[in-house]
Amino acid sequence: MSKRHLCIAITGAGGAGVISCGELLLQAWAHEGGRGLLRKAYGPQIRGGESAALLKLTDDERYTAASHYDLVVALDWDNFSRFEDEIRLGPRSWVLCDEADELPASVLAARPTVLQLPFAELASTCHAEGRVNMLVLGVLGRLLGLPVGSMVELAAQKLARKPQAYRDAATACIEGGASRPMACDLPVPPTAATGACYMSGNQAAGLGALEAGIRFVAAYPITPASDVLEWMAGGLEQLGGQLLQAEDELAAINMAIGAAFGGVPAFTATSGPGLALMTESIGLAVASETPVTILNVMRGGPSTGIPTKSEQSDLNIALNGLHGDAPHLVLAPLDIADCVFTTGWAVQLAQQLQTAAIVLSDQFIGQSTAIVSEPRRYIPATAAPATPAEGAYLRYKLTSSGVSTLAAPGDAGHRFTADGLEHNENGTPSARQSDHQRQLAKRQDKLADFGFGDDWAQVNGSGPLALLCFGSSSAAVNEAADLLAERGSPARVISLRLLAPLQTAALRAAVEGCSAVVVVEQNHSGQLFRYLKGHADFPQAVHSYAMAGPVPLAPEAIAQAVTEMINP
């Protein structure tokens, strides 16, 4: 592979601190100008199960999940075994484990180089309360060439609320670990510029939403979306906004609609089961033309499914889950940094077009943390001065753009009653065909005719083969394209950010000259594939590569499958 990656997995029991170890390692790496991704994996237990810190250090900020690992640190092998599906080793991999351990046959079968250290003994030599995870941090830090002082300081910050002895032990173990040279010559990727951000996709989405003007959030916890809401709670308090914990998702979406009706940009975040509960009222936002943004952080489905793992299987419901003809916006951020941009854009579009926007993030980008260059922001065009109202105020006035003036309570003389019943321009309920058809057309045309600009997708490369994807698959698909290029099949990658309304003309232009299109996505039934076939009228042959979660999409597998599709 041409890219310089270093993939490290640290596995252990739930309480063993492997996640802290991974976080501190990545933070210290960030301070040196490094780039990298941390994915956290847990078992179903809330506490005391298995956990893994899955690190990928790379200088190109293309954060695919690693599938093959260069280095595995197993604090014990029992907990490692729960991740065997995900953590692949090979003959060029290194394994670091306790001296006393006997390695499982499956691991030995991969023929890695094994390094063994007396973990527990070393840790307790460093400090009476010494813990192995900090020792490992020191060892790995040295491998990456990180300054010991930086790791110690970051650990001290993280452990600020712990007793002094605990912190001392951490320092001693980090220093002890860092003092042990490791006979391991793994190539360390070069570092990039400093001045980056260290954030999860969920935090990035929250930041994007607040920057775009969200000042009201209604919240009902659900994995893996709760941490968006938790992060925003703090932010809103500083901004003088409000967060309201709702009794359920039905309340959450309606509270957001209520706040938005009051003129306060409003938001909620959820995952599949919660989105399903919200659809009736998202339809109300569409029909009453009340702006609202819903971030849906996808997890494994259907039903309760696999709550802690990622999948892209809520595309169907996001696009088509509303009853009646209910056109609305659906967007998807392409990576962690793009969560800032796309969520911000969604909020602005929802406000401007007076409709509901669903943002499809997922557990992979939502709950992974990465070091990213300063994320791009959506800069709204300076708003055209509001057209002065002619005659009496008509809330649902038919205009050339389909967008009517939206008053808010407090505005003098613009009183109206918002309604989810079909209505005439004035908002008065009407069952007449003429009113119905006009308002249906208005709500559809205001989206269809809007100029969304160039951000509807990110287009990379220019090969005669088009790989089409949305949201978080983008990184894996771009990496697959690199592999294909190396193998003589250059491909262009079109990563859709705006899924509805689909920019069919731009999309067709983007695939122009391609002999084949392959739609890649992380679900079982090829939801994007079906949607694009239904809407885009590609002249080319269109193929589907759809692979359900929970294991992340693998570039190598995509590249292979695509090769077979185009050379049958």
- Which residues make up the interface to ligand TPP (CB under 6 A)? 221-222, 249, 273-274, 277, 304
Distance CA 321, CA 314 (A): 9
Query: Is 556:67 a contact under the CB 8 Å cutoff?
Result: yes
Which listed option, ligand SF4, its own copies, ligand TPP, none, makes contact with residue 221 (CB within 5 to 8 Å by class)? ligand TPP
For 461, the 3-state DSSP assignment is coil
Q: Which two tokens stand for residue 7?
A: 């993939």
Which of ligand SF4, other proteins, ligand TPP, none does residue 556 bind to, with CB < 5 to 8 Å depending on kind?
Answer: none
Nearer to other proteins, 50 or 70 (CB): 50
**Residue 12 binds which of its own copies, ligand SF4, ligand TPP, none (CB < 5-8 A, kind-dependent):** none
The interface partner of residue 347, options being ligand SF4, its own copies, other proteins, none and the CB cut-off 5 to 8 Å by kind, is none
Phi, psi (5° rounding) for residue 241? -90, -175
Separation of alpha carbons 8 and 198, rounded Å: 18
Count other Cβ atoms within 10 Å, centred on residue 27. Answer: 23
**Taking CB within 5 to 8 Å according to partner kind, which of ligand TPP, its own copies, other proteins, none is near residue 197?**
other proteins
Given other proteins, ligand SF4, ligand TPP, none, residue 525, with its beta carbon under 5 to 8 Å by kind, binds: none
Q: Residues near 196 by Cβ (< 8 Å), separated by ≥ 6?
A: 30, 33, 35, 371, 372, 373, 374
Our CB check for other proteins shows the closer of 176 and 273 to be 273
Q: How do strand 71-74 and strand 50-58 relate by DSSP bridges?
A: unpaired
User: Residue 230 binds what, of its own copies, other proteins, ligand SF4, none (CB under 5 to 8 Å, by partner type)?
Assistant: other proteins
Nearest Cα residue to 75 out of 13, 166, 155: 13
- Identify which of residues 47 and 161 has a Cβ nearer to ligand SF4 in the complex: 47
Q: What is the smallest separation between the CB atom of 49 and ligand SF4, expressed in angstroms?
A: 10
Are 502 and 509 contacting, i.e. CB atoms less than 8 angstroms apart?
no
The neighbouring-strand residues paired with 516 are 465, 541
The rounded radius of gyration (Å) of the Cα atoms in the chain is: 25
- Amino acid (one-letter) located at 407: A
Residue with tokens 């239904």: 534
Pick one of other proteins, ligand TPP, its own copies, none as the site partner of residue 275 (Cβ within 5 to 8 A by kind): its own copies
What is the number of other CB atoms lying within 10 angstroms of the CB of residue 99? 12
Complex with other proteins: residue 36 or 555, whichever CB lies closer: 36
Which DSSP category does 427 fall into?
Answer: S
Residue 113 or 223: which CB sits closer to other proteins?
Answer: 223
Min. distance of Cβ 87 from its own copies in angstroms?
A: 13
- C-alpha closest to that of 252 among 240, 233, 266: 266
Rank residues 30 and 260 by Cβ distance to its own copies and give the closer one: 260
Residue with tokens 């309480």: 15
Partner whose footprint covers residue 303, from other proteins, ligand SF4, ligand TPP, none (CB < 5 to 8 Å by kind): other proteins
Residue 126's nearest CA partner among 139, 111, 142 is: 139
CB of 33 to ligand TPP, least distance (A): 39
Smallest distance from ligand SF4 to CB 417, Å: 18
The nearer residue to its own copies, 112 or 305, going by C-beta atoms, is 305
Between 107 and 256, name the residue whose CB sits nearer to other proteins: 256
Q: Do 457 and 510 meet the contact criterion of CB atoms below 8 Å apart?
A: yes
Residues near its own copies (CB under 8 A) are 43-44, 85, 250, 272-273, 275-277, 279-280, 283-284, 286-288, 300-309, 311, 313-314, 316-317, 319-327, 419-422, 429, 431-434, 436-437, 440-441, 444, 523-525, 527, 530-531, 533-535, 537, 548-551
The total of other beta-carbon atoms located within 10 Å of residue 451's CB is 5
Residue identified by tokens 């983007």 is 510
Question: Is the Cβ of residue 98 or residue 280 nearer to its own copies in the bound state?
Answer: 280
| Min CB(227)–other proteins separation in Å | 8
User: CB 548 → other proteins: shortest distance, Å?
Assistant: 20
CB of 370 to its own copies, least distance (A): 23
- Which of other proteins, its own copies, ligand TPP, none lies near 437, with the C-beta cut-off 5 to 8 A by kind? its own copies
Binding interface with ligand SF4 (CB under 6 A): 46-47
Question: How far apart are alpha carbons 464 and 489 in whole angstroms?
Answer: 8
**Per DSSP, which regions of 363-405 are E strands?**
369-372
Between 323 and 434, CB nearer to other proteins: 323
Give CA torsion, residues 429, 435, 438, 443, to 10 deg.
10
Closest contact distance (angstroms) between CB of 272 and other proteins is 11
What CA–CA distance (Å, rounded) separates 232 from 228? 6
- Indicate which of other proteins, ligand TPP, its own copies, none lies near residue 410 (CB less than 5 to 8 Å, by partner kind): other proteins
User: What's the min distance (Å) between Cβ of 63 and its own copies?
Assistant: 20
